[in-house]
């Protein structure tokens, strides 16, 4: 097999390093390369040796690292973050690499296209391992994000795996059904519920297309409920703060005693209003927090399993202060938001019921022992569930509540007789099952919302998507992005240890383009006059 130009140059470099006093004929004999080519490579090496690090790029190790640097720069900056090849070109030139590899925007654009093709090849190569087990349960979430055309996004919520991410002409039920056929038609999936907003096409997709329960998105529901009251409270707080700032500034400059007294009285009245407003805002936040802490499979204090009938009274109790606040803040919009929230409560609660049916069905398939089933559902699963909730949230108040729930659940777990008598290996098996089952409780489609935000940024940065670009971004999401535990979405869903995407890709990429010196740079400046700077 004939050597490439880069390999021949490296061979000549190694021969020169081994014996710098060798002549052309000796080097040609040692390398097996014609003497004219050896001379040409010698001159090229001398032209590139302009910096202290230049010699390292001529070695095998340096050349391999240079390839990784260029490919990964295009992968992480150019594809994942939407930075143009012109900016990447400037970055590589700033690293003084333009004498060793082609760094022009056109050269990098060709490498970027080759990189996209290779990522697509990776996705095709891993398709055979992306097959569900018979009866494998999933929960999905769907939404649309709008650019020139809507992008339909449907993800498995527990793992984060993207089943569908494609631009379409419309977002009707028929279009959604057409787009999910490439994965839903595979035998083995059992979708237990789908979380979405109340778009009619998505509701129909869940109930008829996937044959599962349609669950109202908790994030959208809470946001719509709290927005009128929260916005009105915020506006009034800002207005009072501005008024107090203005009066305070007037008081500092006035010299009339009567005016000072008048301003002090006005400030005292505003301070009283501010205190009442703070109390109302505290009631508002407390009611919203109560709602958030109520929609869980287990009671926060008793750790007892919760059903729809258990959480309904708590919801009604939390809505009472919101109705009172809505009369002062938000008016008609607040009343409509509360009525709409109440109408969606049955759709919200369906997710809790569907999850419990899933848990009971899966647990019965794992063990026929009633004692073990009761221990898992009533003792082990609450402890695992609250741990996951505590790790997920960054809100200090919610984290404190979940930490207390973890402590109570841990006390019940340790004191239970079956915990002490069960072999350690069996306990680990049940802990793994509990983690999987707890992760399957999804009450929002926030993973899809986050994906929409990511696509929006890239869309504006790159002025649109080509079908290949969107497909490449989907492969990167499924097989490259990792959670803190080091797993990708595909690993979590299919239980297979897929090869590392970036390492696979860099191994499949060919040689980088060679550096080319512009003819324009070699020509003399026709406007240069002797005695004047060029």
Q: Give the tokens for residue 194.
A: 């789908």
Name 311's Cβ contacts closer than 8 Å, sequence gap at least 6: 294, 295, 349, 352
pLDDT of residue 459: 81
Residue 43 included in any domain: yes
Residue 287 included in any domain: no
Residues 191 and 147 in one domain: yes
Q: Give the tokens for residue 3.
A: 């050597």
| Mean local confidence (pLDDT), 62-81 | 91
Residues 162 and 207 in one domain: yes
User: pLDDT tens digits, residue range 38-50?
Assistant: 545 555 555 666 6
Sorting pLDDT into bands at 50, 70 and 90, what band is 19? low
Which of 415, 443, 471 is a domain's end point? 443
What integer best gives the mean pLDDT of the chain? 86
Least confident of 14-18, 91-95, 243-247: 14-18
Is the pLDDT at 518 greater than 70, yes or no? Answer: no
Sorting pLDDT into bands at 50, 70 and 90, what band is 497? very high
Which of 414, 443, 472 is a domain's end point? 443
Residue 157 included in any domain: yes
| Mean local confidence (pLDDT), 160-176 | 90
Residues 503 and 490 in one domain: no
Residue 305 included in any domain: no
User: pLDDT tens digits, residue range 173-213?
Assistant: 999 999 888 888 776 799 999 999 888 999 999 999 999 99
Phi, psi at residue 395, to the nearest 5°?
-80, 125
Is the pLDDT at 513 greater than 80, yes or no? Answer: yes
Per DSSP, 74 falls in state: I
Residues 500 and 486 in one domain: no
Nearest CA to 416 out of 368, 370, 481, 371 is that of 371
- In three-state secondary structure terms, 191 is strand
Residues 161 and 126 in one domain: no
Residues 208 and 176 in one domain: yes
Enclosing domain of residue 42: 1-48
Classify strands 136-146 and 189-196 as parallel, antiparallel or unpaired.
parallel
- When mean pLDDT is compared over 57-71, 142-156, 388-402, 457-471, the highest value belongs to 388-402
Helices (H), 254-330: 257-294, 308-328
> pLDDT exceeding 70 applies to what percent of the chain?
86
Q: Give the tokens for residue 74.
A: 């295009």
Distance CA 318, CA 307 (A): 17
Residues 413 and 489 in one domain: no
Residue 337 included in any domain: no
Residues 58 and 124 in one domain: yes
- In three-state secondary structure terms, 418 is helix
CATH of the domain at 37: 1.10.10
Residue 309 included in any domain: no
Nearest CA to 445 out of 162, 225, 229, 180 is that of 162
Residues 124 and 179 in one domain: no
Q: Cβ–Cβ contacts within 10 Å for residue 121, how many?
A: 14
Please name the residue that has the structure tokens 């795996």. Answer: 161
Residues 211 and 149 in one domain: yes
Residues 170 and 193 in one domain: yes
- When mean pLDDT is compared over 106-110, 118-122, 180-184, 465-469, the highest value belongs to 118-122
> pLDDT exceeding 90 applies to what percent of the chain?
58
Residue 253 included in any domain: no
- The count of domains in the chain is 4
Least confident of 141-150, 211-220, 336-345: 141-150
Sorting pLDDT into bands at 50, 70 and 90, what band is 526? low
Residue 126 included in any domain: yes
CATH of the domain at 206: 3.30.420.10
pLDDT of residue 44: 57
Residues 207 and 170 in one domain: yes
């Amino acid at each position: 097999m004939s050597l490439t130009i880069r390999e021949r140059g490296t061979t000549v470099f190694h021969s020169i390093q081994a014996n710098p006093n060798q002549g052309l004929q000796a080097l040609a004999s040692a390398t097996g390369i014609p003497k004219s080519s050896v001379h040409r490579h010698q001159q090229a090496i001398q032209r590139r040796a302009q910096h202290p690090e230049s010699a390292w790029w001529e070695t095998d190790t340096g050349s391999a690292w240079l390839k990784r640097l260029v490919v990964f720069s295009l992968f992480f900056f150019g594809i994942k973050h939407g930075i143009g090849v012109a900016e990447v070109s400037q970055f590589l030139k700033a690293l003084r690499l333009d004498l060793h590899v082609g760094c022009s925007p056109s050269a990098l654009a060709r490498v970027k296209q080759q990189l996209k093709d290779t990522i697509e090849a990776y996705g095709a190569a891993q398709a055979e391992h992306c097959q569900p087990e018979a009866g494998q349960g999933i929960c999905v979430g769907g939404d649309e994000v709008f650019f020139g055309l809507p992008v339909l996004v449907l993800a498995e919520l527990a793992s984060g795996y993207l089943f569908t991410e494609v631009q379409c002409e419309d977002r009707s039920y028929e279009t959604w059904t057409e787009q999910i056929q490439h994965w839903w038609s595979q035998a083995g999936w059992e979708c237990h519920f789908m979380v979405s907003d109340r778009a009619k096409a998505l509701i129909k997709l869940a109930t008829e297309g996937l044959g599962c329960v349609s669950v109202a998105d908790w994030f959208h529901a809470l946001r719509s409920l709290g927005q009128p009251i929260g916005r009105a409270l915020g506006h009034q707080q800002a207005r009072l703060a501005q008024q107090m700032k203005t009066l305070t500034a007037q008081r500092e400059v006035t010299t009339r005693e009567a005016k000072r007294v008048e301003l002090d009285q006005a400030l005292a009245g505003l301070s009283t209003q501010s205190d009442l407003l703070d109390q109302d805002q505290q009631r508002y936040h407390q009611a919203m927090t109560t709602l958030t802490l109520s929609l869980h499979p287990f009671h926060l204090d008793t750790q007892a399993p919760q059903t729809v009938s258990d959480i309904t009274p708590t919801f009604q109790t939390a809505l009472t202060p919101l109705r009172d606040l809505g009369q002062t803040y938000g008016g008609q919009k607040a009343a409509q938001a509360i009525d709409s929230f109440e109408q969606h409560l049955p759709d919200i609660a369906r997710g809790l019921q569907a999850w419990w049916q899933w848990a009971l069905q899966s647990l019965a398939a794992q063990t026929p022992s009633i004692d073990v089933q009761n221990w898992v559902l009533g003792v082990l699963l609450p402890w695992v569930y609250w741990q996951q909730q505590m790790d997920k949230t960054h809100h200090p108040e919610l984290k404190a509540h979940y930490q207390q729930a973890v402590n109570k659940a841990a006390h019940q777990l340790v004191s239970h007789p079956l915990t002490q008598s069960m072999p350690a290996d069996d306990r680990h098996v049940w802990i793994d099952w509990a983690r999987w089952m707890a992760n399957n409780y999804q009450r929002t489609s926030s993973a899809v919302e986050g994906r929409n935000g990511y696509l929006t940024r890239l869309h504006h940065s790159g002025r649109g998507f080509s079908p290949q670009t969107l497909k490449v971004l989907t492969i990167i999401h499924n097989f490259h992005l990792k959670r803190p535990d080091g797993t990708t979405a595909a690993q979590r869903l299919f239980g297979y240890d897929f090869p590392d995407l970036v390492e696979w890709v860099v191994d499949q990429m060919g040689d980088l383009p060679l550096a080319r010196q512009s003819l324009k740079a070699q020509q003399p400046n026709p406007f240069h006059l002797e005695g004047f700077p060029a």
